[in-house]
Amino acid sequence: MRCPRWSALTLTLLIFGVALGAGDQVALERNRQLLARWRSNPDHIARLKRDLKVFHALPRARQEQLRTLDEQLHETNPATQARLWAALERYNAWLATRTDEQRLHITQAPDAATRLARIRELRLREWLPRLTKSDQQAVGRLPVDQQPGRIAALRSEDRRQRGASYRDWLAAEAAIPRPTSLKELPAETRAFVEANLMKRLTPVERERLRKAEGKYPEWFRLLDGLSEIHPVLPPTKKGENINLKELPDNVAAKYRVDKFLKGKRGKDKSWPDWALDITRIAKELKTTIPTLGASKPSEFSPEIQKFLTQTLFPALGREQRTQLDKQEGHWPEYPRMLLRLARDSQLVIPGMSLPGPIVMWENARAEAPVPLEGLLTEFARKELTEEEFAQMGLKPGDLVGNREKLQSAFNRKKSEYERKHKNGSSR
């Protein structure tokens, strides 16, 4: 069965949403946090809207050209993709600062080769003022057609002279830890993971982490993502235990039922998972309950309080601090936002954030995303034709309905395959 070429938008909104809704929450959590991050940055949201408006105003042929370019970029390997995206961003930033005459000279080139030649010529001439005065004079005495070649030679010599510092940078970059298993983690990171994360993983998550061992950045990014799914959320000063008699009767009764049913499939949950269950039940029943976890600065440990007041809060912008203050007193929203803001600022909350060298985490987070497609995702991408996909009528946001439709199609294809395989074997 051929694999259809889905658009990035369709895959993101329909397929990945379906698979993640079926159980794999890592990428879903990442998308949720990305959306929350955008919402906390009005300027970024406004820029995205402006960009979308500009895109829609382009001629249809130009829109298709950009869509094709986007597809081609996403079909490259992660390293090439990162390099090309960085080049595109640098080029756009550079072009935006040129004069109108220079931009027209480039954009109105008759073909790609001519455009590239004009860009190179302009870039070389822009580099001329960086030369020493004597080198500038020497270049100026040359015929015009020989000047670009001389400038290029001077640039090459400059890069050679800076080679030693570049090699030092490479050595430092090579020294960044790239763990692919628990035993390869720095000591403090491994201790944190074993004490706060591993015991909370589901059997499926444990198996996925095991299968990713030995692969970088897949294993490391998966560990990072799981830590966001199962964050460290400190309890209040009362501790991790609670007397169910302190809860409203309807909340306590439903929790007992849920705990009994889930207890048949495994051991009882530990903190903060059982507290998250109770909080979820209370919200579903629209019943008010006491805050079960730390949701104000004064409710955290002295070490965390010191970090918040001396390190994190001063690093926040006005909009970020306003968003955080609105969540104060709400659990688990407040500590979750603390973790997100600390991560955005490349800070580590003592006892809450994954410890270890920041450069280690940022290096892995800059790599290509871990392929976390579930069974239904793989089925939709590899087994359905474009016509079959369109006929299913999947809708963005309708995770339950989409999952049911995909599950039905999966079961039908599976039955057809098993019947065909059985008939072939019988012959």
pLDDT score recorded for residue 308: 95
pLDDT score recorded for residue 48: 72
pLDDT tens track for 292-322: 999 999 999 999 999 999 999 998 888 889 9
Q: Is the peptide bond prior to 235 cis by the omega test (within 30 degrees of 0)?
A: no
Find, among 171, 165, 174, the residue nearest to 360 by Cα.
174
pLDDT tens track for 129-182: 767 778 888 888 888 778 777 877 877 776 665 544 445 555 655 677 889 999
Whether the CA torsion 22, 285, 258, 30 is positive or negative: it is: positive
How far separated are the first and last CA of the chain, in Å rounded? 23
Residue 139: C-alpha distances to residues 80, 99, 159, 160 (Å): 36, 24, 18, 20
pLDDT score recorded for residue 214: 93
* Mean pLDDT of the residues in the chain: 76
pLDDT score recorded for residue 7: 41
pLDDT score recorded for residue 338: 95
**Would you kindly state where each structural domain of the chain is located, as residue ranges?**
177-232
pLDDT score recorded for residue 144: 78
Which residues in the chain show pLDDT less than 70?
1-44, 78-79, 82-83, 86, 130, 158-174, 259-268, 366-387, 389-390, 394-404, 407, 411, 414-415, 417-427
Residue 392: C-alpha distances to residues 4, 170, 201, 385 (Å): 15, 51, 34, 11
pLDDT score recorded for residue 242: 76
pLDDT score recorded for residue 39: 65
Copy the structure tokens of residue 290: 């006491």
Instruction: Identify residue 326 by its one-letter amino acid code.
Output: K
